[in-house]
Every structure is written in C-alpha cells, then in structure tokens.
Amino acid sequence: MQVIPVLDLIEGLVVRAKMGDRDAYRPIESPLSATADPVDVTRGLMRLGRFPTLYIADLDAIRGRGDNFAALARLRQAFADVELWIDNGAATSAMVEATQRYGVAVLGSESQSDATLVASRADALLSLDFRGEAFQGPPELLSQPKLWPNRVIVMTLHRIGGATGPDLERLAAIRARAGGRRIYAAGGVRDAADLAALKAVGAAGVLAASALHDGRIGPADWA
C-alpha cells in the first residue's frame, strides 16, 4: 500500500488542514521544514522516504480565488521524477489540459456539474468527495462505477487534518463496487494501525499530511 504525502496550497504556501474547514487553514509549521514554501516542505517529506507520488490540492483554484500554477511549476522542476496528482477544481477539458502540463489532473466530484468530464477523461483520477454522509457532486458519479477511471480517491473532507481515523466502512463499500480499480483513502489517518486497517480493506494507498508532519507515521510504518 502506497503512502502519498499531501500538500494543500493557498497563496503559494503549504497550509495545515483542520477538519476540512478550508477558511481556517494557516501556513504549516512542521519539524520537517523551516518554511511553508512547497519546495521546502516537499524536501522535508522526501527525507522521510523517496515518495514516488505527491497529492497537491490547489485550494485557491478549487474555491475560485486564483491558482497556484507558479508553485506547481517550481515543484515540477525540483522533483521531475515524482508524479504529481493535482486537484485544482478542474471542471473543463481546457483546465484538465492546463493541469496536465504539471502532473495528473484529479477531478473532484465536488467541482463537477455533471458526469461528462469524468466520463471523457480516463487519463485523470476521480476524487469521490464526501462531507459527513453527504456525497458532494453529481449523484451519477457515485452511483455509476462504469464512469470511474482506473484510480479513484475516496475523500472524506470533514476528517482531513482531524486525526479521527479513516472511513473504513465507506472505503470498503466503494472498493466492492470498483471492479478492480485502484482505490485510495483520504482523510483521518492517524498511525500505523490505521495503515494496517486500510491495507486490510484493500486500499491501494492513502493520502497523508498531518500524521507525517507530526511523526505519527514514519518510514518504519510503511517499510
């Protein structure tokens, strides 16, 4: 099972998530990095292990408040051998194409008005977004697995940065319908026990941020 570090970006800086309340996010303070600059933070994460993939949430773009393409360009240059999964609220083919210059576009269900874009972009990832029990996005994106690409993230937004534990039941239910697609968990991972539980329900990987910066999971846990 793959551990995928997360960078949440606002105004060019990495911010610390708090229970998915994006307005409360502030520049990160981490023992892994002296600054909140995304290149510095990524270098700190890479000292924990040579992660092949990073997940980047451009929260400015998701909220329609600008974008962080400049930061993405710097990350692409500094870490050319790392695959970047980029969620920036892309809801048009033009935005997907612009994003794919830097990495792989993540199509967040919360940003879609219908299923058309997801159905047409097998080269992207899909994030199935939830707040509490409520699915965020067009209902057909959840009810019709035939629309899903080969890699799907199950994103429990209210658990992000909350260290409340992953949503194992939902993850298992979605994986059971996924038809062999690779399913990734996002939100709530706390420690090595959570990694083991996610592996047991068949997760292909887990997105993690706070647990890495706080030292609650480390190289020995995913070795």
Among residues 75, 89, 72, 92, the alpha carbon closest in space to that of 136 is found at 89
CATH number at residue 104: 3.20.20.70
Given the structure tokens 């911010």, which residue do they identify? 15
Residue 35 lies in domain: 2-222
Residue with tokens 């980029």: 86
Domain count, the chain: 1
Tell me which DSSP letter residue 88 carries. Answer: S
Are 75 and 38 contacting, i.e. CB atoms less than 8 angstroms apart? yes
Per-residue pLDDT in tens (0 to 9) along the chain, 223 residues:
999 999 999 999 999 876 556 666 789 999 999 999 999 999 999 999 999 999 999 999 999 999 999 999 999 999 999 999 999 999 999 999 999 999 999 999 999 999 999 999 999 999 999 988 899 999 999 999 999 999 999 998 877 776 688 999 999 999 999 999 999 999 889 999 999 999 999 999 999 999 999 999 999 988 7
- Given this model, what pLDDT does residue 20 score? 53
Query: Across the strands, what pairs with 106?
Result: 125
Residue 60 to residues 14, 68, 96, 152: CA-CA distances in angstroms? 12, 7, 16, 23
Residue 160: the pLDDT is 77
pLDDT of residue 67: 95
* pTM beyond 0.75, yes or no: yes
The separation between CA 4 and the C-alpha centre of its own chain, rounded to angstroms, equals: 8
